[in-house]
Amino acid sequence: MNDQTREQEEPRLSDVNRFRRHPRVRIAAPFACALSSLKPRHWLRKPTVNLGVVYDLSLRGARVSTRAVMRPGDEVTITLRLPKQIRSADVSSATVRWTRDQFVGLAFTRLSAASYGRLKKYVAIATGAVHV
């Protein structure tokens, strides 16, 4: 196998990932998540659960597609149904950093040690850093 073929077959982190503390993983088969606002827009309303699809993921955030109306600065909870894991990773607080069309950029601000461990395991497997 020549060097050019090897370069095409080996997964590489993007140039953006070189400068990230927590590399982002592009999800080959996007998976479902559930989002809920921590503070309902109207004080009489109960928080609703919205569905989303995760396209990028790191230990500190995610890019999610959803029909829910969100604005930068909104705080949400997110339940990540990580593939090939029995339990979900529950992020008890995430802040919306940006929105573009139906996509939302989330920064995780509070999650349990168990959820962090699940995320860490999933990201390591997805990047090929760990062989299971």
Using CA atoms, how far residue 53 sits from 30, 34, 61, in Å, is 6, 9, 14
Instruction: Tell me: pLDDT of 13 over 90.
Output: no
The whole model's pTM is what?
A: 0.74
CATH of the domain at 62: 2.40.10.220
Asked if residue 1 is part of any domain, the answer here is: no
Asked if residue 5 is part of any domain, the answer here is: no
Total of domains in the chain: 1
Instruction: Tell me: pLDDT of 16 over 90.
Output: no
Give me the residue label for tokens 């909870």: 77
Instruction: Tell me: pLDDT of 125 over 90.
Output: no
Which residues are registered as beta bridge partners of 63? 56, 105
Asked if residue 18 is part of any domain, the answer here is: no
CB count within 10 Å of CB 36 equals: 15
Asked if residue 82 is part of any domain, the answer here is: yes
Neighbouring C-alpha atoms within 13 Å toward the C-beta of 102 = 10
Separation between Cα atoms, residue 73 and residue 71, nearest integer Å? 6
Q: How confident is the model at residue 85 (pLDDT cuts 50, 70, 90)?
A: confident
pLDDT of residue 67: 92
Asked if residue 60 is part of any domain, the answer here is: yes
Instruction: Please write down the HEC assignment for all residues of 55-71.
Output: EEECCCEEEEEECCCCC
Q: How confident is the model at residue 115 (pLDDT cuts 50, 70, 90)?
A: very high
Asked if residue 2 is part of any domain, the answer here is: no
Asked if residue 44 is part of any domain, the answer here is: yes
Which has more pLDDT, 127 or 17?
127
Give me the residue label for tokens 């829910």: 68
Q: Which of 117, 80, 75 is nearest to 93 (CA)?
A: 75
Q: Which of 83, 87, 89, 84 is nearest to 112 (CA)?
A: 89
pLDDT of residue 55: 93
Q: How confident is the model at residue 109 (pLDDT cuts 50, 70, 90)?
A: very high
- Any alpha helices (H) in the chain, and if so which ranges? 3-9, 113-127
Q: How confident is the model at residue 28 (pLDDT cuts 50, 70, 90)?
A: confident
What domain range is 88 assigned to?
27-127
Asked if residue 8 is part of any domain, the answer here is: no
